[in-house]
A and B are shown apart, each in its own frame.
Chain A
Amino acid sequence: MTPSHTPDSTAPWFAADDEPDHLDGHTIEELSDYLDRGKEPADPSVDESAACRIALASLERLHGAMGSMVQEEADRAPARDDSWVTTILDGIVRDSRSGRDIPISHPAPTARLSVTEGAVRGLLRAAGDSVDNIIVGRCRLDGDVTTPGVPVTVTVDANVYRGENIPTLADNLRSALLDALHSHTELTIAGIDVTIRDIFLIKPEPEGGVQNHD
């Protein structure tokens, strides 16, 4: 396995000092730059050289190996206490997601009552997640939610587990969302569009084998 460190004509380029002799006139730096450019514009003198192609493959392997190395360093890093997560979550500005104010009626002329769009989206996520075998993704309220009585269409992306009956799930989801909207808002709902975005969620196994799905 150990390559010979004595330069000779049969040694690979990386064991030799005279790269161009081993790489059909090219240097490994040229090849590295070529790779960094995405092999554009194409250079036939490189592409058609077996030695260059072997060296390019080595460079690509090295790049890949560097990536795996960092990934493994991340995986091997000892578990830390949770404070780093807390610090991040404390640092984010949550207000940026409140969205529009959706009015709530009241007879008093001095009353200004509303529920934020962000709160309603949170409600829709929670209501959707409570339906078995569904994880809700994006939620949108399309229409002028700030004016009472204007019809609003709700658009929801949902992920379902493999093998589930999609039309049934979509119906269950719609009714759960509608119930939630009725008890928490005065919105006039014109319709709820459910988009089943993906069907690749892996159902967690009840015992052991917990695995992150990427």
Chain B
Amino acid sequence: MTDLAEFAREMESVVRSVPGVTAVYPATPVVVTVVATVVATVASTVSTAVSAVVGAGGEAAAELAKTPALVSVSTGKDGLRVAASIGVASGDSSTEVCRRVHDSIAESGGITEFTAIDTITVTVASID
């Protein structure tokens, strides 16, 4: 299952390398976005998030907690679910950059190792 975590990081660098992308923000499954702001819970929340991404706890999660992948990868009903949240340069076009990011993810080498794609979600969260 650590493959997914590794894949998530690979996807992050794919997203980053797309022209027009100025930032990559954490794209976490909605279940872990509802968190308290209490500092004490942050550490455990992060590992929960990572566990959710990786699908299993253990050492991989602990290791990932230090450098969580910003692109979220999980398994959905029909296959792989990839989600990325990005910033786009105002001089570019959000619609174009967003599609380019999607296509880069869809066409990346690593993704062919997985049988099917459920969804690829790309959200432009800032334009600057």
Which A residues form the contact surface with B (CB < 8 A)?
93, 95, 98, 101, 104-106, 108, 110-116, 118-120, 122-123, 126-127, 180, 183-186
CA gap between A169 and B32 in the complex, in Å:
45
Residue of A nearest to B80 (CB): A110
Q: How many residues of B contact A (CB 8 A)?
A: 24
Q: Which residues of A contact B127 (CB under 8 A)?
A: 115, 119-120, 122-123, 126, 184
User: 19 A-B pairs, CB-CB below 8 angstroms?
Assistant: A93-B37, A95-B33, A104-B94, A104-B124, A108-B106, A108-B120, A111-B122, A112-B119, A112-B120, A112-B122, A113-B121, A113-B123, A119-B126, A120-B127, A123-B94, A123-B127, A183-B93, A184-B93, A186-B95
Closest beta carbon of chain B to A139's beta carbon, Å: 13
Does residue B88 face the partner (Cβ distance < 8 Å to A)? yes
Residue of A nearest to B93 (CB): A183
CA gap between A126 and B93 in the complex, in Å:
15
CA gap between A98 and B37 in the complex, in Å:
18
CA gap between A120 and B127 in the complex, in Å:
7
Pairwise interchain contact B95-A104, C-beta atoms closer than 8 A: yes
Option from A105, A114, A126 in Cβ contact (under 8 Å) with B124 = A114
CA gap between A116 and B86 in the complex, in Å:
10
Q: How many A-B residue pairs have CB under 8 A?
A: 81
Pairwise interchain contact A184-B117, C-beta atoms closer than 8 A: no
Option from A93, A111, A118, A184 in Cβ contact (under 8 Å) with B88 = A184
Closest beta carbon of chain B to A102's beta carbon, Å: 9
Pairwise interchain contact B102-A106, C-beta atoms closer than 8 A: yes
Question: A110-B117, A110-B118, A119-B126 given. 19 additional CB < 8 A pairs?
Answer: A95-B33, A98-B125, A101-B123, A108-B106, A111-B102, A113-B102, A113-B121, A113-B122, A114-B124, A115-B124, A118-B125, A119-B127, A120-B127, A123-B90, A126-B127, A126-B128, A180-B90, A183-B93, A184-B94
- Given A108-B102, A111-B102, A120-B127, verify A185-B120 contact (CB < 8 Å): no
Pairwise interchain contact A115-B120, C-beta atoms closer than 8 A: no
Q: Which residues of B contact A104 (CB under 8 A)?
A: 94-95, 98-99, 124
Of the listed residues B93, B94, B102, B120, the one surrounded by the most CB atoms of chain A closer than 10 A to its CB is B94
CA gap between A136 and B25 in the complex, in Å:
26
Q: Which residues of A contact B90 (CB under 8 A)?
A: 123, 126-127, 180, 184
CA gap between A104 and B117 in the complex, in Å:
19
Of the listed residues B37, B98, B117, B128, the one surrounded by the most CB atoms of chain A closer than 10 A to its CB is B98
CA gap between A98 and B26 in the complex, in Å:
14
Residue of B nearest to A114 (CB): B123
Q: Which residues of A contact B94 (CB under 8 A)?
A: 104, 115, 119, 123, 183-185
Residue of A nearest to B99 (CB): A106
CA gap between A130 and B23 in the complex, in Å:
22
CA gap between A178 and B91 in the complex, in Å:
14
